Structure 1
Amino acid sequence: MPSDLMQTVVPGLIEHIPITLVYWFVPSVLSLLFGTLLCIVRVGRHNVLYWICTIYISFFRGTPGIVQIYLVFFGLPKLFWIFGIDINDWSAGIYFIIATTMNLSCFMCETLRGGYVGVDKGQIETGLSIGFSRTQNFFRVIVPQTLKVAILNLKNLEIDVLKDTSVAFTIGAVEMLGYAKGVIAASYGSGQLWILGAAAVIYFVMCTVLEIVFTLISHRMERYERRVA
């Protein structure tokens, strides 16, 4: 089995790395945007929008991710059908990306909010006192300082999201683990430990690379701050 694995299964797993990265990268980018918007609401006044966002965040943080995937996969077509829109021909990967984005946005929001709370308010006031507009102060002071505080938590979030792409196969989206499960089913379980072990190694390598990237970003931010200081 090891020789067969090296010749057939491993290349197949490698071929599915790009789609696995898509299922990680697209929700990550969208969640950074939506999570920032949610964070802005959450650190603002306690109005109606604040409480709507709070309930939304509590729901997605307090229910299992796999349940959310099923709710989106089975429920979204029915919701669209009410408005006369048929989305049943969408690929399973799109539903996975939507569900992951909705979930990750909430965790991203709370991570950024924690980073914002940790920012020295004196720096924000200093930015305004030297003539920065609110927009300039947001991008030049608040965002860099928030990311500096939140970077380690963001790294953990992104690693978790990359690993959680492995559940996409539950709704028929074929990424690495989906491919591995298909091979195992086709071979009636023969060599499943080798196949799953190979998939685990590839996931481990990708997560290690991602951790290194975030570490380099963190060091770069620290050097930039020292240079500016």
Structure 2
Amino acid sequence: MSTMIKENKQQKVYRIVKGRIIEREYVPGQRIVIDQIAKELETSSIPVREALRQLEAERLVVYKRNVGPVVAEVNESDYLDTVHVLALLEGYAASLAAENFPEEKLNELIELNQLMEEALEEFDIILFSRLNATFHRIICEESGNNFLLESIQNAWNRIDSIRGTGSTLYSKRVKESIEEHKEIIALLQSGATKEIERVARAHKIRTAENFEKRRKNLIQTNTITS
């Protein structure tokens, strides 16, 4: 997927650095050394600086005086609270959508899930996150409840403002997510409104649980090595 599109130097740096932040290879609070990245990726510092400014706009990187760019901290409490509320909202939206889900939209979901598998094969978590957002938006839009959709959009925006689009996804979790999407598609097709509400809610909550598990493991690792 992603290799079909010609990247310029800035886009390449952006993709690689954002991927490292998402995968926690670069941890919150860690300083990002511009010259080191430029040397590693065989480019000048200019594309690196431009990519970091883009990541700053997404709230994944912050600039500190006398330090330079560092990986942004995560407000774990706000993130987890928002995801749990979003799980309830998206679950209800899925149950409404399942009452009469259009065949052409089912085909779109199937295609998106296949594209997500391809993105994962190429280790493109950024592309995956975009496809994933589209997948869930299609379902929620079919709920037919504008106030519910507005509330879901506000929750999505809140999550993005806490940590940036797709940044709470990572390679192990997305493999599980693809399989869960297949179950959601099957339930939409069968019109199982009660079951899909439970499944869609659990799907979202698992992302929060995995995020929290990774955070605790990272804290334990840092405590042991410090």
Q: Same fold (TM over 0.5)?
A: no
With structure 2 as the length reference, what TM-score do the two structures score?
0.30
With structure 1 as the length reference, what TM-score do the two structures score?
0.30
Larger CA Rg, structure 1 vs 2: 1
